Amino acid sequence: MPWGIAREEYHSWHSEHDKEIPIADINETSSLSPDYQLPDRDPAPEPPRRRNVKRIVVWSVSLLILVLVIVLIWHHHESAKKAAEAAAAARAKAAGITISTATAQKGDIGVYLEAIGTVTPVYTDSITSQVTGLVIAVHFNEGQMVKKGDPLIDIDPRPFRATLLQAQGALERDQNVLAQAEMDAQRYRDAWASKAIAKQILDDQEKLVLQERGTVKNDEGTVQYDQVQLDFCHITAPISGRMGLRLVDPGNVVQSSGTVTLAVITQMQPITVIFTIPEDSLGSVQAGMRKKAGLSTDAFDRTAQKKIASGKLLTLDNQIDTTTGTVKGRAVFDNKNIALFPNQFVNTRLLVDTLKGVTLIPASAIQQNGQASFVYVIQDNVAHQRSIKPGVTDSGNTQVDGINPGNVVANSGFDKLQDNSKVVVSNKPASGSTSGSNAPASTGASTSGSSAP
């Protein structure tokens, strides 16, 4: 636009605005627009709520960005870690995994039945007094081992000795009366044979002899009873065993009612263990008993780690407990070292059968994958996964099906070992122990036999 034309339009516009405005128009304008005459004001401040919302949005976005940065850093770190592990695994696979091995062996292993048992003495006697009297002597010590017939307690015998003496006197008197009656009866027989007396007199005398004989028998019974009462004053051990704590002292008066126990004797040698057998295992136990009288039975401590004693199965109960589905069995032990104590809790292992000529490997070589079992068979320094069927376990050895005696199996390094992995054997193949061949002598606590509830 030319400069002259622009200048003319500017002066024209300025002259139009410089025209005078009538007062009426000013008043009208003032009434319509009050702010026309007022100076310009600053715009209204922003409300506080809007400022807070903006601040929250800013912080949220900043926090989200920070989280994203952290996630990215962590993801990068994990990726690098996995890559390093994969590289290490690849290097290890290429170099071979170091393991130890064991060789499968052919041997015998016992099939055991484990159960919980309680040591039960064959005899336990609680001794009470058969007479009333004063205790004058106690001849045993607490915990003493006594034999049958050893003196234990003496009760004052004097009243009973006096009573016995009276009975003996009455017996002696009546015996003489009987003898006199028998002499008279003989005289009457001779007189009746001579027709000197009547038959009635002889008959009366013979009946009198019978009455005197009855009196003598009654006296003899009284003497025997009083003798027994006198013998009761001297209490002896009815069985051989171990004495319990002393329950009576000299000077105590005991009664013949038998309510007070004077002593307790428990037989210690031999001793038995009562345990329960599941009814499902009853058939195999009876079959073993028919093959061999007295199946071998071992007693272990509460932890089932230490063998206490060895014995044999004595008998089974004559009925099954319907509430538990078990039958009781009693095993007898010599208990020469008094290792088994009455009412002691023990774990029993009953040898039911012996598997002969089976394949045995260490139980530690068997791996589990859910319900499946497998081992790693080593051939040409390469591990091959082989499925197996484990059976009986005893003394750390397990009977298995699926591999042959002589196969070398991995026994360590399972955390890195995989199928077809190269391996480096750190030792010569360790032959699996065949200690299970002597089943009755094994001390392992882990078996595959059925466990009693």
Q: Can you read off the two tokens belonging to residue 317?
A: 């109960």
Mean pLDDT value across residues 340-358 = 92
pLDDT at 413: 82
Mean pLDDT value across residues 317-346 = 93
Which region among 26-30, 52-56, 222-226 has the lowest average model confidence (pLDDT)?
26-30
The answer to whether residue 405 scores a pLDDT higher than 80 is yes
Q: What is the pTM of this model?
A: 0.62
CB atoms within 10 A of CB 242: 19
Predicted confidence band at 49 (pLDDT cuts at 50, 70, 90)?
Answer: low
Predicted confidence band at 251 (pLDDT cuts at 50, 70, 90)?
Answer: very high
The pLDDT tens digits for 72-98 are 898 888 888 888 877 766 665 555 788
The pLDDT tens digits for 275-290 are 999 999 898 898 888 8
Reduced 3-state DSSP string for the chain = CCHHHHHHHHHHHHHHHCCCCCHHHHHHHHHHCHHHCCCCCCCCCCCHHHHHHHHHHHHHHHHHHHHHHHHHHHHHHHHHHHHHHHHHHHHHHHHCEEECEEECEEEEEEEEEEEEEEEEECCEEEEECCCCEEEEEECCCCCCEECCCCEEEEECCHHHHHHHHHHHHHHHHHHHHHHHHHHHHHHHHHHHHCCCCCHHHHHHHHHHHHHHHHHHHHHHHHHHHHHHHHHHCEEECCCCEEECCCCCCCCCEECCCCCCEEEEEECCCCEEEEEEEEHHHHHHHHHHHHHCCCCEEEEECCCCCCEEEEEEEEEECCCCECCCCEEEEEEEECCCCCCCCCCCEEEEEEEEEEEEEEEEEEHHHCEEECCEEEEEEEECCEEEEEEEEEEEEECCEEEEECCCCCCEEECCCCCCCCCCCEEEECCCCEECCCHHHCHHHCCCCCCCCCECC
Nearby residues of 453 by Cβ (< 8 Å), 6 or more positions away? 276, 278, 324, 325, 326
The pLDDT tens digits for 169-227 are 999 999 999 999 999 999 999 999 988 888 999 899 999 999 999 999 999 999 999 99
Cβ atoms of 83 and 411 within 8 Å: the answer is no
The answer to whether residue 432 scores a pLDDT higher than 80 is no
In terms of Cα–Cα distance, which of 303, 383, 311 is closest to 351? 311
Predicted confidence band at 43 (pLDDT cuts at 50, 70, 90)?
Answer: low
pLDDT at 47: 61
